[in-house]
Amino acid sequence: MSINELILLIIIGFLAGVVGGSLGLGGGIIIVPALVFILGFTQHHAQGTSLAVLLFPIGILGVINYAKNGYVNFKFAAVLIVAFVLGSYIGSEISVNLPEKILKKVFAIFLLIISVKMILDK
């Protein structure tokens, strides 16, 4: 793992925590696209690594299956976990201070942007 990868993982994990904490989204909606589009992971590796972040208690069986097939990067998952925890706290602090109407719009726009990006990607 290079220093650039470490920095990117911290940023991805932190942003996943902020968005997850503020919008109630699962980390996968941030982590999977970020690992694919920023770090060049395959979809399988991104999904397996994201599940490792959410391992207990949510994704244990999924992680086992992905890991058996070699699709989990546990070092990257560990960095994402630490950054995600911090980001989740900060994101929840932001969210509880936003009016519901604004929060709903931010949530919808975020989902739309991710959906369009994934649909239009080669």
pLDDT at 63 over 80: yes
For the chain, give the percent of residues with pLDDT over 70: 94
User: What's this model's pTM, rounded to 2 decimal places?
Assistant: 0.67
Q: What is the pLDDT, as a whole number, of residue 70?
A: 94
Q: State the pLDDT at residue 58.
A: 67
The mean of the pLDDT values for the chain is 86
DSSP the chain: --HHHHHHHHHHHHHHHHHHHHH---THHHHHHHHHHTT---HHHHHHHHHHHTIIIIIHHHHHHHHHTT---HHHHHHHHHHHHHHHHHHHHHHTTS-HHHHHHHHHHHHHHHHHHHHH--
pLDDT grade for 95, boundaries at 50, 70 and 90: confident
